Structures are given as structure tokens and as C-alpha cells.
Amino acid sequence: MTVPQPKVSINSQLYDQDFYLWLETTAQQLKAGKFAEVDLANLIEEIECMGRSEKRALESNLVMLLMHLLKHKYQPEKRTNSWLSTIFEHRRRLNKNLQDSPSLKNYFSETFEECYQDARQQAALETDLPLDTFPVKSPFTADECLQQDFLSE
């Protein structure tokens, strides 16, 4: 006796064969209201992945910003315009991300301390200063980090 196998939609096969074409096809199906033809399982997976990507981008930008703020504060003799540019750029990215997705503000607050600990370790590696040079608790508030004109002295 054979067990019936679930049908694999053409769109589902397309997902594995040509991702970009799958995206275009899915968008067209949604626009046309052809919801029964949509590869729902893969669409849900992609939407969830997009959310995770937004969070990872926020974390990455925050760690970079915090690390450069630490370097700026604890190595004043080595300050460069490159550091200032990096601080400016990662603040800009964070502010844009939070403007486009205000619901990420809670995640920003939740992950701030963890990102600070990562930035602290990375700053120690980059500067060759002992880890305990950088305080265990962030010397910057989350709000200060987002202010374009904030630089610690």
C-alpha cells in the first residue's frame, strides 16, 4: 500500500531553484489576489528571517558604535576623523532603522547591555588595552548613543 505524498507546489519548487524568480512570482500572486497559489510555508519563513535580519543589523551597528565611542573615550591620543566618521555612520544607520521600524526601539533597549559587553571586548582587542580599562557598565546611555552630537570626553 502506498501512502499519498503531499503535493509540492510549482512555486515551492521554484523557491529552491530560483529564489529571485520565486520572489517575483510570489509578489505577483499576492498583488493579483491569487492567495491559494502562494507558497505560504516559504513566505512565512522568509518574513521571519527578515525580522531576525533587522535585529542582527541593529545589534551589529550598536556594537560598532559603542566600540568606537569607547575607543574615543579611552584613547583620546589616537582619535581620528575615521573614528568620528564611523560613529556618525553607525548612529545614522541606527536612527534610520529605528525611524523605519519604531517597534525595534524596545529591542534596542533590551539588547543594549549585551551589545555593550561585546563592544567592550572588541575595543580591548582593537586597542590592545586591558579589558578592565573599559567599565563593566556602559558609561553611555542608550539615548546618548543615538544623539548625533554626543561624544564622551
139 in a structural domain: yes
Number of domains in the chain: 1
101 in a structural domain: yes
What pLDDT does 59 receive?
A: 98
Give the SS3 label for residue 145.
Answer: helix
- Tell me the residue range of the domain where 79 lies: 54-146
What is the pTM assigned to this prediction? 0.83
| pLDDT per residue of the chain (153 residues) written in tens, 0 to 9 | 554 444 446 778 899 899 999 999 999 999 999 999 999 999 999 999 999 999 999 999 999 999 999 999 999 999 999 999 999 999 999 999 999 999 999 999 999 999 999 999 999 999 999 999 999 999 999 999 999 889 866
103 in a structural domain: yes
93 in a structural domain: yes
14 in a structural domain: no
Contact (Cβ atoms closer than 8 angstroms) between residue 117 and residue 95: no
42 in a structural domain: no
98 in a structural domain: yes
